[in-house]
Amino acid sequence: MIIRSIPATPRALIFDMDGPLYKNEPYMRWQQESQVRRFAACLCIGEEEAHARLTAARRKRTEAGLPKTSLAELFVSLGVKLPTIIKWREEEFSPAEWLRPDPGLRVALDALASSYSLLLLTNNPRKVGLESLEALGVGKCFDAVVGLDDSGVSKPSAVPFRKACDTLGRTPSACISIGDRMDIDIEPALTLGMGGILVDGVADVVALPALLAGTAVR
């Protein structure tokens, strides 16, 4: 765990999903692969060609000095409309088939929810985020979910983080972003004046109640 910043009086915790709240490498790979298959089918090309086009798009960004971006934003750059991407994910992703309740995570999030507002900020559609929380047995711990269909753009854009703060009715300086990717989950939040905690997985999230003890002002 790396603490980049904790506000003096945090009131809300904004969580990423994949990594902080579960680790399931087969599911995460399947999510990527299913979207590449849909991209290939949309363009009537083979999956190998689809991968090649995505690789070329990433290389083009690197050569232009642009930062890394999400798979959804790469699809958009290649001509796929955002509503189509959202539809692909809603149709393909079934969290209940891959995820199971995590009692330890539930205890930790229950403790945090007694002192802070909790929000899930995901690059997947809100529906997928809600279903993921329910599959993990922690849906009741969260006040809200903000998904790709709410913000209209993926992290690492700062837009989803602003949307998350607005949804909770909190200023960025009262919120902490918690995620497992510095460039995607933490750095954009810090630019807005939010706090940031980089976690390595569920075990770090379970340790958060003790770490944050005494900081909350509900």
Question: Domain segments of the chain: what residues?
Answer: 2-23+100-211, 26-96
For residue 216, the model assigns a pLDDT of 53
For residue 127, the model assigns a pLDDT of 97
E strand intervals along the chain: 2-5, 12-15, 117-121, 144-146, 175-179, 195-198
pTM of the model: 0.92
Residue closest to 180 by CA, chosen among 32, 72, 18, 31: 18
User: Is residue 19 within 8 Å of 217, Cβ to Cβ?
Assistant: no
Residue closest to 213 by CA, chosen among 91, 79, 114, 66: 114
For residue 1, the model assigns a pLDDT of 82
Produce one character per residue of 6-39: b if its CB has 16 or more CB atoms within 10 Å, e if not. Answer: ebeebbbbbbbbbbbbbeeeebeeebeeebbebb
Instruction: Tell me the average confidence (pLDDT) per consecutive run of 10 residues in the chain, 218 residues long.
Output: 86 96 95 96 95 94 88 92 96 96 97 96 97 97 97 94 97 96 94 96 96 68
For residue 40, the model assigns a pLDDT of 96
Pairing of strands 12-15, 2-5: unpaired
For residue 189, the model assigns a pLDDT of 96
Token duo for residue 186: 């933490």
Task: State the DSSP string of 130-162.
Answer: HHHHHHHT-GGG-SEEE-HHHHSS-TTSSHHHH
User: Is residue 198 within 8 Å of 182, Cβ to Cβ?
Assistant: yes
Cis status, amide bond into 95, omega within 30 of 0: no
Q: Candidates 3.90.850.10, 2.40.420.20, 3.40.50.2300, 3.40.50.1000; correct CATH number of 2-23+100-211?
A: 3.40.50.1000
Q: What radius of gyration do the chain's Cα atoms show?
A: 17
